[in-house]
């Protein structure tokens, strides 16, 4: 099943606030449009009705305001998960300034079942479907990668059975037939939702502990939680199998630095983040342009790691997380502008189908045997 309409789908989600900037931000009743009335120079509010100024208007797949975690999951992610179970790569990405709700949307509030985010809900759905689709045998593996200042960290390297020493020298690799993978990133087989949730929890803990140890804010890194799915028909004669990757991505805060006062570690982090987000944008825009032969994936770890999971052959959904407050309006405009550029990208997802050579040989031997028998009659 292909998700979406053959285009990158972009949603806007407002973080709830008591100080919503009515008059400055307007969400239209169509549930898809956000209008902003703001002039940078004068910082004056403009009346939408007097016709003096047309607003900045942003049209998205959907505007999520006062919407439950459950509804966010079903509108944003459910189709992508279903697609992944059918063999289509899928990526759901949250971006926006720090504090706007990316981690809340992706992971949710730990301990509060109702407030769990996209990742735990996606894991629940994956295992429910695995139970339902009895004609296939599935294998599911998880990985959890953090990218901080262009260094890759394996958030699940401390889990029993994975090799610690590898997590230091991780490299993004590409192989024909296998696609893009990260050498040294631990992959964990999971058979039940509960085991998957334990791994997610462990990864979250490692993210927090790691950032404390390095004395940095955890919102300064990108995190990619990946579900690797392989499914085979239970009929032995079928040598084909399909694979897919579902990437659930919590991007680093996109806020720009103030003009003064940033130095040292903060400046370095911001420089890396700006660079990787702008290459992410370039890569996605290049994918959209059929005349462009070269897509600059290798410029940063983020785009390289997601090379086969952005636009193109993939169901891709962005969530632009924003504040609805006047004090944050410039960052909000910048996030919405980024979102508008992303939504122009076309996608053409295809199933990742492979042939198992061992099974293929068995199948051919069987056919040869049958032909021989027919001839000898």
What does the binding site for Mg ion look like in residue numbers (CB under 5 A)?
102-103, 219
Closest by CA to 14, choosing from 6, 5, 24, is 24
Main-chain dihedrals φ then ψ at residue 355, nearest 5 degrees = -115, 130
Task: To the nearest 10°, report the CA torsion of 225, 76, 107, 253.
Answer: 80
103 is in an annotated binding site: yes
**In angstroms, what is the minimal distance from the CB of 324 to ligand ADP?**
11
Q: Residue 141's closest CA among 187, 182, 183, 186?
A: 187
Q: Pull the structure tokens for residue 37.
A: 């009335």
* Min CB(35)–Mg ion separation in Å: 27
Please give the Cα distance from 78 to 72 (Å, whole number).
Answer: 9
Integer Cα distance of 314 and 349 in angstroms: 5
Q: Does 328 bind ligand ADP (CB under 6 A)?
A: no
State yes or no: 98 annotated in a binding site.
yes
Q: What is the 3-state secondary structure (H, E, C) of 160-193?
A: CCCCHHHHHHCEEEEECCCEEEEECCCCEEECCH
The site partner of 15 among Mg ion, ligand ADP, none (C-beta below 5 to 8 Å per kind) is: ligand ADP
Report the C-alpha gap between 196 and 156 in whole angstroms.
12
Q: Examine residue 339 and tell whether it contacts ligand ADP (CB under 6 A).
A: no
109 binds ligand ADP (CB under 6 A): yes
Q: Which among 46-54, 94-102, 163-171, 255-263 is the span making contact with ligand ADP, rule CB under 6 A?
A: 94-102
For Mg ion, give the closer residue by CB, 173 or 209.
Answer: 209
Asked whether the CA dihedral 116, 225, 278, 312 is positive or negative, the reply is negative
Contact call for residue 321 and ligand ADP (CB under 6 A): yes
Residue 222 makes contact with ligand ADP by CB under 6 A: no
Give the residues across from 312 on adjacent strands.
347
The entry of Mg ion, ligand ADP, none near residue 162 (CB within 5 to 8 angstroms by kind) is none
- The entry of ligand ADP, Mg ion, none near residue 232 (CB within 5 to 8 angstroms by kind) is none
Q: 99 labelled as ligand-binding?
A: yes
Instruction: Tell me: does residue 303 bind ligand ADP (CB under 6 A).
Output: no
Q: Are 147 and 221 in contact (CB under 8 A)?
A: yes
**Would you give the DSSP letter of residue 331?**
H
**What residue 109 binds from Mg ion, ligand ADP, none (CB within 5 to 8 A, per partner kind)?**
ligand ADP
> Shortest gap between Cβ of 88 and ligand ADP (angstroms)?
27
User: Does 254 engage in binding with ligand ADP (CB under 6 A)?
Assistant: no
Is 102 annotated as contributing to ligand binding? yes
Asked if 136 contacts 294 with a C-beta cutoff of 8 angstroms, the reply is no
How many residues bind ligand ADP (CB under 6 A)? The answer is 14
Give yes or no for residue 320 binding ligand ADP (CB under 6 A).
no
352 scored as a contact of ligand ADP (CB under 6 A): no
What residues line the site for ligand ADP (CB under 6 A)? 15-16, 96, 98-104, 109, 219, 253, 321
Known binding site for ATP: residues? 96-103
């Amino acid at each position: 099943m292909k998700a979406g309409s053959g285009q990158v789908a972009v949603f806007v989600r407002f973080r709830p606030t008591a100080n919503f900037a009515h008059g400055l931000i307007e969400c239209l009743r169509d549930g898809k449009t956000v209008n902003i009335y703001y002039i940078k120079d004068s910082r004056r509010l403009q009346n939408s009705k007097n016709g003096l100024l047309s607003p900045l208007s942003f049209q998205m797949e959907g505007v999520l305001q006062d919407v439950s975690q459950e509804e966010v999951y079903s509108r944003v992610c459910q189709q992508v998960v279903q697609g992944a179970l059918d063999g289509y790569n899928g990526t759901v990405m949250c971006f926006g300034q720090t504090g706007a709700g990316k981690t809340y949307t992706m992971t949710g509030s730990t301990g509060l079942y109702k407030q769990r985010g996209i990742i735990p809900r996606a894991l629940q759905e994956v295992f429910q479907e695995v139970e339902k689709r009895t004609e296939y045998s599935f294998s599911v593996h998880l990985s959890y990668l953090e990218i901080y200042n262009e260094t890759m960290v394996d958030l699940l390297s401390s889990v029993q059975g994975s090799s610690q020493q590898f997590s230091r020298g991780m490299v993004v690799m590409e192989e024909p037939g296998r696609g893009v993978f990260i050498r040294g990133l631990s992959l964990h087989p999971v058979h039940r939702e509960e085991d998957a949730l334990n791994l997610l929890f462990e990864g979250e803990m490692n993210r927090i502990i790691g950032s404390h140890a390095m004395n940095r804010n955890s919102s300064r890194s990108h995190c990619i939680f990946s579900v690797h799915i392989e499914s085979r028909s239970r009929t032995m004669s079928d040598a084909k199998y399909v694979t897919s990757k579902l990437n659930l991505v919590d991007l680093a805060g996109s806020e720009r630095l103030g003009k003064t006062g940033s130095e040292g570690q903060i400046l370095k982090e911001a420089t890396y983040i700006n660079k990787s987000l702008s290459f992410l944008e370039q890569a996605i825009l290049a994918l959209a342009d059929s005349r462009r032969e070269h897509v600059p994936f290798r410029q940063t770890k983020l785009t390289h790691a997601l090379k086969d999971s952005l636009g193109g052959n993939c169901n891709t959904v962005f969530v632009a997380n924003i504040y609805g407050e006047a004090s944050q309006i410039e960052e909000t405009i910048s996030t919405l502008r980024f979102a508008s550029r992303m939504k122009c990208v076309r996608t053409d997802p295809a199933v990742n189908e492979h042939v198992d050579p061992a099974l293929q040989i068995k199948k051919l031997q069987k056919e040869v045997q049958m032909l021989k028998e027919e001839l000898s009659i």
